[in-house]
Structure formats: structure tokens, C-alpha cells
A and B are shown apart, each in its own frame.
Chain A
Amino acid sequence: MAMKIDVSGLKKYLLPAGLAFLLLINLFLVLEFFGVEVIDRYVKGILILMQINIILAVSLNLINGVTGMLSLGHAGFMAVGAYVSAILSIFLSKSNLPEVLLFPLVLCAGGLAAAFIGMLIGVPTLRLRGDYLAIATLGFGEIIRVVILNLDITKGARGLPGIPNYTNLWWVELFMVLSVLVIWNIIKSNHGRALVSIRENEIAAEAMGVHTTYYKVSAFVIGAFFAGLAGGLFAHYLGYISPKSFDFMKSIEILLMVVLGGLGSLTGSVIAAIVLTGLPELLRFLQSYRMVIYSLTLVLLMLYRQEGLFGRDEASAELLRKWLTPRKKNHPGGEAGEPTES
């Protein structure tokens, strides 16, 4: 079960591969200026959604995987970011601000609004533990949705149309890379170690001088900020948002990416976000059977790869090899006693 963390492997293979892929996309985009269209609108759309989902998954991983707080309301933060930035840019589009300035500005505003809501929610609820925290975050996620449904400025259930379509692949790439980089750097610092120590053993962490409440709220606020940012990108990609896009199922979808990728593993989250965004598209030929197959795949994946794709480790060549070789049957039932076979 214990696999060695081999970061050099990641540096060697996965990161260059990912960067090469990004570079290739950008090359295609540059070619478009010369009238050569390699990727069509449909593929571009999927690439955009994949990267938005990467931001969402990585930000939830900070809360859920790294710090170990089960949050079921991430879509709520996404919604706050989406609505705040959308309303701001509709309002500001009449001004003469150039897009290059305006777009990052409204995105940050959306992120900050989400972070603020995250703090409001986090301070009282983070005293709760485990499933109680999960239920409280679920509740807040639903409350945010109902509030949006009932406000005038958000246009309620009809949804908010006419959001400028600022989001393109360049912007998404920029913010995706920034988000992953920032969260990666946080994890690899003493602040990140403090967060991990809370997941590992909260009582010991506190006894070792970790201000657990401060760090729990911090993880929540940072996670909410990036979720809000992703929400803003999402709103300016679709041009129309409604509360339906940010319901409980969306939170679950993000959670799936984090768990499938492996709690605490950023590379895992990135890959899972790509796979889970791409999979439904690939399964489109199944038509009405699509979601049935999708959910069944999910269950089977959980039954046969219990630690997620990557467990807690970052991806590496070493891990890939281990992954491809047959697994030893490993029952963690040591202290719980072996289940009686019937």
C-alpha cells in the first residue's frame, strides 16, 4: 500500500508531457491566425471545460484531500464566483475598460467574493468534524443556490443571460496553470505541512503548535477563492448561467474528480478532471445509455481501485509501473479483524 513518493519521476515525465500538450494546443491556436483551423469549436469547448474542472478539482483537493475536511458544497463557491463576476462584467461592459484588464479584474472579484463567503461559512462550521462538517457544507451549498434563485439581480430560476464571452483557451490556460502552481507551492511549504498534519492527526497537530482552526479556515478560503475563479471562467465561457448549473450534483462531480484522482494528489486531480470531463463526451455514441454506463464505471472503479487512481502519491514513472503490475491482495483489516467469509 505504501508507495514511495518519487517526485523526480513526475518532473521527468508527466510535467513535460503536460506542458508539451499545452504548447501544442497553443500552436494550433496560433495557426488559426493564419487561417489553418486544427481544432474545432467543439474540441475547444471540451478543452476549456477540462481546464475549468482542473481548477475546481485542485481547489477542492486542498480542502478535502490535503486538509481532510469532507466538503460537499464546492459548487456553491463556484456559483458565487460565477454570479459576482458575471454581474460585474455585464455592468462594466458599458465602460471603456479593455478586456485584458476587465476580465482578470472581474474574475478576481468573483474569487474574492467566494473566498469571503467561504470565510463566513468556515468560521462557524469548521468546528464540526467528519460527516457533520460534510452535511453542513452541503446545507450551505444548497442555501447559496436557493438565495441565487430568489434574488432579483441574479434573475432567479430563469438564469442570467448576456454575459460577455470573454473566456477563451488562452485565458483558461493562464488561470489553470496559475491555480495549480499556487496550490502546489502551498502544499510544498510549511503551511501545506500544517494542513496535511490536520488530516493526519488533528490532536497531534494542535499539540505540535499548529493553529488548526486558522489553517482549516485558510484551506477553506483558498479553496473557495479558486472555485470562484473557476465559476467566473465558466460563466464567461457559456455566456449564460442559471442556479441549475451549481446544484448538489455539481459538487459531487467535483468530489468525484478529487477522490478518483486520489485524495491529496494534485496530479491525480488534474488527470481525473481531464478523464471525467472527457469520458462523457467519449461515451456520447452510447446516447441514452451513456449515464448508466458512466455511473456503472464509477462503481466498478471504486470496487477495484479503492485508493483512487493515484492514492496519496503524485504521479511518477515508478507509480505507473507499479500500477500496471498485478496488485497484491491487501486487506487493511488488521485491527478491525478479518471479515468473516460467508
Chain B
Amino acid sequence: MSEFLQQIINGLSLGSIYALIALGYTMVYGIIQLINFAHGDIYMVGAFTGYFAILAGLPFPLVLLLAMVCPAILGMFIERVAYRPLRYSPRITALITAIGISLFLENLGILVLSPDPRPFPQVFTNPPFQLGQVTVSIPQVLTFGVALALMVGLTFFIRYTKTGKAMRALAQDLEAAQLMGVNVDSIISVTFMIGSALAGAAGVMVGILIPRIEPLMGIMPGLKAFVAAVVGGIGSIPGAMLGGMLMGLVETLTTGFISSTWRDAIAFGLLIVILLFKPSGILGKNVREKV
């Protein structure tokens, strides 16, 4: 039982990372129906920004801020340069472009930063504490806390601010929103900014949680976070949070009770099972094509 609870704790902290990345996927997909393959690499950029900021001796809150701002700028830049010109092109074109950007960031990372993994400098050296029978580390608490705070903030932003409302309007119907005077370009920019900032935060948190970073670190988490977004119902913000947490839990529980080598197969298997029974994800709406 304590082993189970332990895995739940591990799963929640890992799930927070997935949820933060998944949010970016789901927000972008909800508005422009693009699977932004470069999103996992934005997360990598966040991790490296944090890495260098810590090495420069900045305090942690500033590190976190910087690791959100830099990816945010990068995300907006990518959207402006690579995705905006293709907004009215076949979707496969934008998808391939996103894959190209992803490959570019990864290989640029390998070129500039070397392909070797580096240890992430540890900021929190306090020993883990006992909570009943389970051990909880400071990074785990912090990851969960930061993710929670960001998600609550995002929810308020989406629900109550003017920009948030515009984002929801775009997700419903881009053309109609445009006709109602919403500035589509700037709202899409903001979407990329927020999504990338969240991924950047996830990058720092993962550095603290699993202290090893490398230029290709974004591929697998990116893929799984996307899967998590789909499981939750792509386009749905609560869905991405739920999907991310679920993905984290499934992974740690499989590692803990079955085998770590089967972990990915079970995660993807779960995805397929969920899709078969609920083709638009747990919280997604089923859209029927009108004949």
C-alpha cells in the first residue's frame, strides 16, 4: 500500500510536467489545428535556459521566470516565421514544417550544446521528508506546486480576461471571431507565447526532478504530452491537465508494479484503448459531420 502511495506521489509530480507541456499542445491545436511537433523542443530550450541561469547564480524565482520568457519569445518567433505563412495551406504542410522546426532545434542544440547529457545543477539540497509511509522530495512538491499555480493562473486567464475570451472565441470559430473584430494574428501569438512559457517552466522543473538534460530530451516527453492532450480531449484545457496527470500516473505505476521497459507500450496502449471507446478523448466533444 505504501509502495502504491509512493508511486502516486511520483506520478503526480511527473504528471505535472506532462500536463504543463500538454497545455501548449492543446491550446495551439484548439485554435489552428496544428500538431506543433516543435513543442517538445521548446521544453528542451526551457530546461537549458534554466541550466544556464542557475550556473549564472540567479535565484530560483528568477531562473523560473527566465526559463519561461525565453521559450515564450522563441515560440512566438517560430509561429511568426514558420507557421503564419502556412495558416491557410493544407494542414499536412504545416505539420511537416513543425517537424522541420523540431529537427532544426534538436540539431542546433546538438551542434551548440554537444549531444552529451549534462547534470542539472541542484538548487534544493534539503533532504526529502517523510509523510506517513511515503517519502516526498522537495523538487516533487515544488514541481507539483508550480504546475498547480500555473494551471490555476491559466484557467483564470482563459476564463476572465479579454484575451482569454478571444482565445476561446478563436477556438470555436476562427472566421467568426475574425469577423467580430478579434485580431487573429495577435491572439495566436499570445497562444504560442503562453504555451511555450508553460513548456519552459516544465523544462526547469524536470531538470530539478530528474537532473539530466540533453538536446534530444524533448522528443519522448513531447510525444507523450501530446498523447496526453489527445487522451484528455484535444482542444480542452482541463482535458490536457487531466491527460497529463493520467499519463504520469500510468507511467510510474507501470514502472513500479510491472516493468519499466514496458512503460511506453502501456502508455500508448492506454491511449489507443481510450480513443477507441471515446474517439474524441475523455473531455473532448464529439463533433459529427453534417451531411
Contact = CB atoms under 8 A, between A and B. Distances in A.
Interface of A: 70, 124-125, 127-129, 131-132, 134-136, 138-140, 142-143, 146-147, 149-150, 203, 248, 252, 255-256, 259-260, 263, 288-289, 291-292, 294-296, 298-299, 302-303, 306-307, 331-333, 336-337, 339-340, 342
A306 B89 contact: yes
Interface stretch (B118-126, B135-143, B261-269): B261-269
Contacts of B262: 146, 150
Given A125-B276, A299-B101, A142 B265 contact: yes
Interface residues of B, number: 53
Contact of B230 (A132, A149, A289, A339): A132
Interface stretch (B46-54, B90-98, B162-170): B90-98
A187 to B, nearest CB: 19
A127 B183 CA distance: 37
Contacts of B289: 203
16 contacts: A127-B276, A135-B271, A135-B275, A146-B262, A146-B265, A248-B219, A259-B92, A295-B103, A295-B104, A299-B100, A299-B101, A302-B93, A307-B90, A337-B175, A339-B184, A340-B184
B100 A298 contact: yes
A248 B223 contact: yes
In the A-B complex, the 4 residue pairs with the smallest Cβ-Cβ separation, listed nearest first, are A295-B103, A146-B265, A139-B268, A298-B100
A298 B103 contact: yes
Contact of B178 (A289, A291, A340): A340
B35 interface: yes
A132 B231 CA distance: 10
Interface in B215-235: 219, 223, 226-227, 230, 234
Contacts of A340: 178, 183-185
Contacts of A332: 88-89
B80 to A, nearest CB: 10
B107 interface: yes
B280 interface: yes
Select the residue from A146, A294, A332, A340 with max chain B CB neighbours within 10 A. A146
A255 B35 CA distance: 15
Nearest to A133: B275
A302 B104 contact: no
